[in-house]
Amino acid sequence: MPGLDWLADDLRRRSKLHILKAGQTLFRQGDRAQAIYEVEQGRVRLLRHSIDRPAVPLHTARSGELFAEAALFADCYHCDAVAAIASRVRAIPKRALLAAFRRDAAVAERFMAVLAHQIHALRRRLEQRNIRSARERVLHYLILAAGADGRTVTWDGSLMDLAAELGLSHEALYRTLAALEREGAIARTRSTITLEKIETL
């Protein structure tokens, strides 16, 4: 996660913290674009509306991720931002941020590094969606999401959230995890999945 360490001290002081309840809206489609945001804790869903259709999910921003970056070069937000769970979100004023880029190349470079990290993560998720087999898609996710030990995946959401991220029905994810557990390929707790038989993956 990138965190706010890329921000210069003056920008950090000018940022604003928003404490959101689950379901609370941070901004709406069409609102004037005044800031970009980072999720310090929680998850925020981005939803786009059309005239005659239900809202379309665009993305879910998680802890440590930026969102609404396009606001830097837009007059208004192109979607709603709604807290999926209780969340803490940092707003970084876009005028101050753009001025900092012009004034300090190091700030701009650190920001580009954050964006590059997020693009890499997006490509990884797109690659997962192209894997047809639910089993192989789940294993692909677990291998790439494993922590420092190379085996343990931890998350703060539900299995339904994980299913949505992987583009699977929750029933398909439950069946796949249960099968992998029976095989001894993984071990599960409420908040972790551990790869047990790396050589079989």
- With residue 188 as reference, give the H or E element that holds it: strand 186-188
Tell me the domains of the chain and their CATH numbers: 3-123 (2.60.120.10), 131-200 (1.10.10.10)
Which residues in the chain show pLDDT less than 70? 1-5, 52, 156, 198-201
| Coil, strand or helix at 15 | coil
pLDDT at 17: 95
Instruction: Compute the distance between CA of residue 26 and CA of residue 44 in angstroms, rounded to an integer.
Output: 9
* DSSP-assigned letter for residue 185: S
pLDDT at 27: 97
CA 72 → CA 5, 33, 124, 148, 197, distances in Å?
19, 8, 25, 34, 46
What token pair was written down for 113?
A: 């590094």
The residue behind tokens 């004037």 is 32
Q: For residue 182, how many C-alpha atoms fall within 13 Å in the half-sphere facing its CB?
A: 6
pLDDT tens string 173-188: 999 999 999 999 999 9
pLDDT at 20: 98
The sign of the dihedral angle between the CA atoms of 8, 11, 13, 19 is negative
pLDDT at 1: 44
pLDDT tens string 61-98: 988 899 999 999 999 999 999 999 999 999 999 999 99
pTM: 0.71
